[in-house]
Structure 1
Amino acid sequence: MKVILAEHAGACYGVQRALDMAVEASAEGEGASTLGPLIHNPQVVADLAERGVRAVSGPEDVERGSVIIRSHGVTPAVRRMVEERGLPLIDATCPHVARAQKAAAALARRCGRVVVVGEEGHPEVEGLVAHAREAGGEVAVVAGPADLPDGLEAPVGIVVQTTQTREALDAVVAALVARGIEPEVKNTICFATRQRQESAAALADAVDAIVVIGGRNSSNTTRLADICAAACPRTHHIEAPEEIEPAWFVDCGSVGVTAGASTPEDQIAAVVARLAML
């Protein structure tokens, strides 16, 4: 069976940057805490815990050591809590997420009403909402056109969770235009996300089966799995090579491999090695 790795797969710049910052903090010996899991990858979070970098719910749970803002970012209120406690702060917010936060605040100041295209309750989305509201905006989170609130009036600004698809953004914009509203759009979808989605779709269309590697709590990895499943019914979302079942690949001449933006290279290599043994 031929194993083919997607052209673009695995840890993006923002994730790798956050990991490097956390590992560097762990080497200082004072201990460090991340506000929530650094990235949505259980294996990485467990490895960091062994290095002395633990995930906590909030600043109130940190007694000593550095506080790391995870790649998804935090709300302005949480950042102030860290600063008020006088704890050393390491900001590992993905630069693309930070750009989206600034865009959300700017749209709130200009338009007064902001639509966030994204996953309700996701930590990145919670940060975008908080930045927009702190700037004085009314905010609605929508996954698609059906979630748009009734009575929405211009002017309206739109910002997007960095791991969303362009199709989701376009559908929301089209729905607003149909209502006679021309929104001000800030397309804050990360280019690396788009690359991974397009590579995964192309690969899924060309293989007999495909394996998607990444945390099940990772929205970008789950989205990759959905994209792959639309083109290849034999799509399998896993977190580790031990989950692979040989029966998945009976009569397969080729299997594709892709991975979410929160999946490090060593995890991808382990899965590829396991598949090569089948």
Structure 2
Amino acid sequence: MKILIAEYAGFCFGVKRAIETAYYEIEKNSGRKIYMLGEIIHNPQVISDLSKKGVNIIEEEELDKLTEGDKLIIRSHGVSKKLYDFLAKKGIEVIDVTCPFVKKVQDIVYEHYHKGYSIIIVGDRNHPEVRGVNGWCDDTAYVVNSIEEAHKLPKLEKACAVAQTTLIGRYWEDILEVIKLKVKDLVFFNTICDATQKRQGSAEQLSKKVDVMFVIGGKHSSNTQKLKKICEKNCKNTFHIEDAKELTLEMVKDREIIGITAGASTPDYVIEEVIKKIRFLKGEKEEE
């Protein structure tokens, strides 16, 4: 049996920075309440551990509960400008761990919106990153997530198009070709982050070489879901799992070349636990 791990898998720079900042704030503010706006990243193990250490998850509709001086961690997906303004007015201390790649998209949208461009976001309208980016153009963006949706765009005089940072590269390219037909004066920015492109590319290559492919990450993680879509095109035995507990003998039985990749919010220790469980199921290691 061979276990092959994608060259780029697991924590990316933005997620690593967000998690390290959250734990630093916990240590620095022992005994003081810290709030987290939604899930800082889409990983249940990490969120559970932060909650145990005293970080309180709060949703946008509950922010009125906060009082002056409270600390609030802004998740890596980012939030709208309106929300930043609300928190500042309320006197909330913000610990902003917005991913730098997401912040770049927000800045592009804000700049071009105030220059009179219509904004087009290619991505999932329900994803927190996209909702946050839309908030930098007063929620006026056209959000499209497929070629079909792009065809429904109205004819626009001038527009600026950006991509959700975790979008599949070829989706952006295909949808952009349709957008070009809809806009007279178009400026566009491929804002898919470098780490995402490398992770997707290495997962795609590995999935062509294996008998079974495991994609590890939170079930609500957009970038992990996209990795699964990419892998299952090459390997029909592709499984999206959150942790080692989901592994079964049936998944690995009679499969000798096993591939593993992981979403940007998946810690190394979760990947290691999956590898150990696979070895146990294949009879190479006793379960600890």
TM-score by length of 1: 0.94
When residues 179 and 80 of structure 1 are mapped into structure 2, their CA distance, relative to the original with a 3 A threshold, is: closer
Structure 1: distance between partners of 2:206 and 2:65: 44
User: What SS class does the counterpart of residue 90 from structure 1 fall into?
Assistant: strand
Measure the CA separation in 2 of the matches of 1:218 and 1:248: 22
Which residue is 1:36 aligned to?
Answer: 38
- Alignment partner, residue 105 of structure 2: 100
Structure 1 residues 53 and 114 mapped into 2: Cα distance closer, same or farther (>3 Å)?
Answer: same
Residue 165 of structure 2 aligns to a residue in which SS?
coil
Query: Which one of 119, 123, 130 corresponds to residue 114 of structure 1?
Result: 119
By how many angstroms is 1:65 displaced?
A: 3.9
Q: Which is further off, 232-241 or 160-169?
A: 160-169
The equivalences for 1:4-19 within 5 A come to 4-19=4-19
Distance in 2 of aligned mates of 1:150 and 1:75: 24
C-alpha contact (below 8 Å) 1:6/1:203 kept by paired residues: yes
TM superposition shift of 1:272: 1.4
Taking the aligned partners of 2:11 and 2:71, their CA distance within structure 1 comes to: 24
Contact 2:10 2:267 in 1 (8 A): yes
Counterpart residue identity of residue 264, structure 1: P
Gaps of at least 5 residues in structure 1 are none
Query: How far apart are 1:177 and its partner, in Å?
Result: 2.7
Q: How far has the Cα of 1:111 moved from its partner?
A: 4.6
Shift, 1:268, TM fit: 1.1
Residues 215 and 239, structure 1, Cα contact 8 Å, conserved in 2? yes
Alignment match, 1:184: 187
Q: In 2, Cα distance between the equivalents of 1:19 and 1:150?
A: 38
The answer as to whether partners of 1:111 and 1:157 remain within 8 angstroms in 2 is no
Aligned with 2:252 (options 229, 232, 249): 249
Aligned-residue sequence identity (percent) comes to: 34
Contact 1:161–1:189 at 8 Å: present in 2 too? yes
Match of 1:172 in 2: 175
Partner of 1:52: 54
Q: Given that residues 173 and 183 in structure 1 are in contact (C-alpha distance below 8 angstroms), is that contact kept between their aligned partners in structure 2?
A: no
Question: Is 1:207 matched up with 2:210?
Answer: yes
**Maintained 8 Å contact 1:118/1:164:** yes
Shift of residue 150, structure 1, vs aligned partner: 4.0
Counting matched residue pairs gives 275
Q: In structure 1, how many angstroms separate the alpha carbons of the residues matched to 2:144 and 2:251?
A: 36
Please state how far the C-alpha of 1:233 moved relative to its aligned partner: 0.5
CA distance in 2, matches of 1:165, 1:110: 29
Q: Do residues 264 (structure 1) and 274 (structure 2) align? A: no
Gaps (5+ residues) in structure 2?
Answer: 283-288
Q: In structure 2, what residue type is equivalent to 1:162?
A: T
Checking the alignment, whether the CA contact within 8 Å between 1:36 and 1:55 is kept in structure 2 is: yes
Q: 1:130: how far off? A: 1.0
Mark the CA change 1:182 to 1:146 in structure 2 (over 3 Å): closer, same or farther. Answer: farther
Tell me the distance in 1 between the aligned counterparts of 2:190 and 2:87.
Answer: 30
Deviation at 1:182, TM superposition (A): 5.2
Q: CA deviation at 1:112?
A: 2.2
Is 1:217 the counterpart of 2:203 in the alignment?
A: no
Partner of 1:71: 76
1: CA distance, partners of 2:180 / 2:79: 32
Give 1:255 deviation, angstroms.
0.5
Task: Using the TM superposition, give the Cα deviation of residue 2 of structure 1 relative to its aligned residue in structure 2, in angstroms.
Answer: 1.1
The RMSD of aligned alpha carbons is 1.5
